[in-house]
Structure 1
Amino acid sequence: MAEFAQLSGISRPTVSKYFNDPSSVRKSIRSKIERALAKYDYRPNLFAVNLNKKRPKIIGVIVPDTSDMFFSEMVRHIEMRCALDGYLVLVLSSRGDPSLEARSVETLLSLKIAGAILAPLGSITDASRMESLKAHIPVVYLDSFLSDGSPFVGTDNDQSIGLITDYLCRTGSPPCFFEMPAVNHNAGERSRAYIRTMERLGFQPEIIRVTSRPDWRFEEIGYSEALDVIDGKGFPSSTVLCANDRIAVGVMAAAFQRGIKVGREADCRLRVAGHDDQPYSRYGCPPLTTVAQNFSRIGTLCVETLLAKVEGAGTTPGAPQQFRLEAQLMMRASA
């Protein structure tokens, strides 16, 4: 900025004032600065500017997998909400690996940022590193949480799984449950919610077990495990409720591979449903019946909860810090 000020013949304080708020300088000076910006192709270094601020305007985000449509959609809503308050978003991926998650936390610790939104890996997360991050900046957990009392925003799995299990029982054969790998607390919560709902409705729960190792290759796992089931004894029900939409995609691909038609029509042998309502779920063949998490509300609430802490508003005594939002049933052709 000093070099630009010298070249343009405008004082550095005036240039700095312009970048903080262009309307704060006289129109004639503003025009002179903008002509000089075009001539010298100058752009301020936002990270350097951030280091010089008492209150940084960067939010860090760590998710398990940026290629997962659930998290990419969530990040999109977080970015949009942060932009309204002038915050930049720095997104890192742990790729389901606790060592990469720890490295991502170290990266955030090395930067001057306002706060962080984290989707932790759960039991394999390095809790000490998270504690170190929390000691420096405000943190809000997204979708998954650690048992440390930190603010959390996610979906009410009891409500969402209960809603779709009840629907499937009312409209056809009671479903078996195709679980997901134990990548975070959602896996166990959804299995238990299914069992409770089936027992409440007077039906016998039937669970299709998969690997207990944390593994984010959901489509591949759903496909290979479903083939094993189909080629073996078969599903214990003609309705399969999957723990998430990506598992359901794998199950439907396996059914197609074995010539089993999925859907609600009379000639269909299998109904398949999921959980999440990822952006592609409505465009499957057939479109996937599922429960929709409120991406916009979850992302917005994460940012607003974090910014309340960052900007000193905090929370009133007794105010909720664990937000579990209800999901909406999306009835489509697969079940």
Structure 2
Amino acid sequence: MAGRKIRNMEEFAELSGISRPTVSKYFRDPESVRKSSRMRIEAALEEYDYRPNIFAINQNRKLTKTVGILVPYLADPFFAEIVRMIEWRCIDAGFWPIVFSAHGRQDLENNALATLQSLKPAGALLAPLGRHSDLESVRRFAEEVPTIVFDSNVNVGEAFVGSDNFQSIGLIVDYLCRTGEAPCFFEMQPVNPNANKRREAYTRSMERLGYEPMVVQVEGAGWEFERIGKEGGIRLISEKALPSDTILCSNDRLAIGLIAAAYETGRRVGHGPGCALRIAGHDDHPWARFTCPPLTTVSQDYEAIAEKSADLLFQLIDKGAPPPRREEILCEGKLVLRVSA
């Protein structure tokens, strides 16, 4: 009978000789059943190679062990790394993470939220698109599902966890001003609140240090940051339109594109004799150390953001009630010095 295909939990319970309620209880929490029953169930699982339909189980429970994770663009290595850490945090805490990507589109973000809500998750960790989100849809979701927001601070959910952009941008602007020409700020059309905060932080930092802010915005929208940075950089360099030889990019992916533009236009990037441009970024993107030259940047604390976001959600689930007020937890960045600046 070991080769027989088991269609549902009722058949498995019959073959294992354990009652259906006990089998169901085991799949919710193995430690909640007697050791002797647990051993019989696990022996039957090995013999018949049966795996329950977790989604069907969840539909019949008031509270599941599922945690939804939604990010704007999973192909971005920044979000991939954050999600990897959050997934392990959930698994270690006994939850089952399900990941969705909005692919930069509002309709796909809305579809992901609707799908996730239909699974009756215990909670959700959302990094919304931001300015391109249907905020009313995100808000309705967060009113029904315990929600922690990370990376993109839109005013929904019980808490936000992200980077302190004013601290991190201030750190790198101060360094660039101390070690060479004051930087201009290289950006594209903002896709989320972080971009706006970083521009504002740059402006404040330059004014605090007695410099005139120099903001350069290149054409382009969406999530192809490297292409936009390269194409805009080639145009600006060719037209000699950059107001400074030191460029602080709004994020590392734009900086990677700008380094490529400098290479194509014959400009050497770095800090020292023979170098035409200094280029710096923000995030400490997983590829930043492998650019040519390696990119000077200011890091986001990936681990702290992932851990604090997940831990806040677990606390919220355990308490079963929202906190008296929405929390905002900001993690400081660290200056990462490499050859590019």
Give the alignment's TM-score, normalised by structure 2: 0.91
Q: Give me the whole-angstrom Cα distance separating, in 1, the residues matched to 2:181 and 2:211.
A: 10
Q: Give me the whole-angstrom Cα distance separating, in 1, the residues matched to 2:154 and 2:115.
A: 20
Q: Does 1:334 align with 2:340?
A: yes
Q: Does 1:321 align with 2:327?
A: yes
Q: Give me the whole-angstrom Cα distance separating, in 2, the residues matched to 1:149 and 1:25.
A: 39
Aligned to 2:305: 298
Q: Does 1:178 align with 2:192?
A: no
Candidates 46, 50, 57, aligned match of 1:38: 46
Candidates 129, 133, 152, aligned match of 1:121: 129
Q: Does 1:107 align with 2:115?
A: yes
Count of aligned residue pairs for this structure pair: 332
Aligned to 1:262: 269
Q: Give me the whole-angstrom Cα distance separating, in 2, the residues matched to 1:112 and 1:183.
A: 30
Runs of 4+ in 1 over 6 A off after TM superposition: none
- SS of 2:335's equivalent in the other structure is strand
Which range moves more in the overlay, 261-270 or 159-168? 261-270
Q: Does 1:25 align with 2:34?
A: yes
Q: Check the 8 A contact 2:22/2:33 in 1, yes or no.
A: no
Distance 1:105 1:32, change over 3 A: closer
Q: Give me the whole-angstrom Cα distance separating, in 1, the residues matched to 2:48 and 2:125.
A: 37
Q: How far did residue 314 of structure 1 move?
A: 5.0
How big is the alpha-carbon RMSD for the aligned residues of Structure 1 and Structure 2?
A: 1.9
Q: How far did residue 120 of structure 1 move?
A: 1.4
What one-letter code is carried by the residue in structure 2 that aligns with 1:243? S
Q: How far did residue 25 of structure 1 move?
A: 3.0
Q: Check the 8 A contact 2:70/2:126 in 1, yes or no.
A: yes
Q: How far did residue 214 of structure 1 move?
A: 4.4
Aligned to 1:223: 230
Q: How far did residue 226 of structure 1 move?
A: 0.3
- SS of 1:311's equivalent in the other structure is helix
What one-letter code is carried by the residue in structure 2 that aligns with 1:99? D
Candidates 256, 260, 271, aligned match of 1:249: 256
What one-letter code is carried by the residue in structure 2 that aligns with 1:123? R
Q: Give me the whole-angstrom Cα distance separating, in 1, the residues matched to 2:142 and 2:312.
A: 15
Which range moves more in the overlay, 3-12 or 65-74? 3-12
- SS of 1:91's equivalent in the other structure is strand
Q: Give me the whole-angstrom Cα distance separating, in 2, the residues matched to 1:160 and 1:180.
A: 19
Q: How far did residue 37 of structure 1 move?
A: 1.8
Distance 1:61 1:232, change over 3 A: same
- SS of 2:312's equivalent in the other structure is helix
Q: Check the 8 A contact 2:142/2:156 in 1, yes or no.
A: no
Which range moves more in the overlay, 144-153 or 116-125? 144-153
Q: Alpha-carbon deviations, 1:294-318, whole Å to 9, x = none? A: 0111011111222222221656656
Q: How far did residue 322 of structure 1 move?
A: 0.9
Aligned to 2:150: 142
What one-letter code is carried by the residue in structure 1 that aligns with 2:144? H
Q: Give me the whole-angstrom Cα distance separating, in 2, the residues matched to 1:67 and 1:241.
A: 24
Q: Does 1:79 align with 2:79?
A: no
Where structure 2 has 5 or more consecutive residues not aligned to the other structure, the ranges are 1-8
Q: Give me the whole-angstrom Cα distance separating, in 1, the residues matched to 2:93 and 2:321.
A: 17
Q: Give me the whole-angstrom Cα distance separating, in 2, the residues matched to 1:218 and 1:305.
A: 31
Which range moves more in the overlay, 55-64 or 248-257? 55-64
- SS of 2:133's equivalent in the other structure is coil
Where structure 1 has 5 or more consecutive residues not aligned to the other structure, the ranges are none
Q: Alpha-carbon deviations, 1:147-189, whole Å to 9, x = none? A: 4575211111111110000001111111111013210111111
Distance 1:313 1:17, change over 3 A: closer
Distance 1:214 1:323, change over 3 A: farther
What one-letter code is carried by the residue in structure 2 that aligns with 1:113? P
Aligned to 1:93: 101
Q: How far did residue 108 of structure 1 move?
A: 1.7
Q: How far did residue 22 of structure 1 move?
A: 5.4
- SS of 1:269's equivalent in the other structure is coil
Q: Check the 8 A contact 2:158/2:323 in 1, yes or no.
A: no
Q: Does 1:132 align with 2:147?
A: no
Distance 1:3 1:289, change over 3 A: same
Q: How far did residue 55 of structure 1 move?
A: 2.2
Q: Alpha-carbon deviations, 1:18-40, whole Å to 9, x = none? A: 4322584345x544433322221
Q: How far did residue 245 of structure 1 move?
A: 0.3
Aligned to 1:4: 12
Q: How far did residue 77 of structure 1 move?
A: 1.3
Aligned to 1:64: 72
Aligned to 2:197: 189
Distance 1:128 1:317, change over 3 A: closer
Q: How far did residue 113 of structure 1 move?
A: 0.5
Aligned to 1:288: 295
- SS of 2:181's equivalent in the other structure is coil
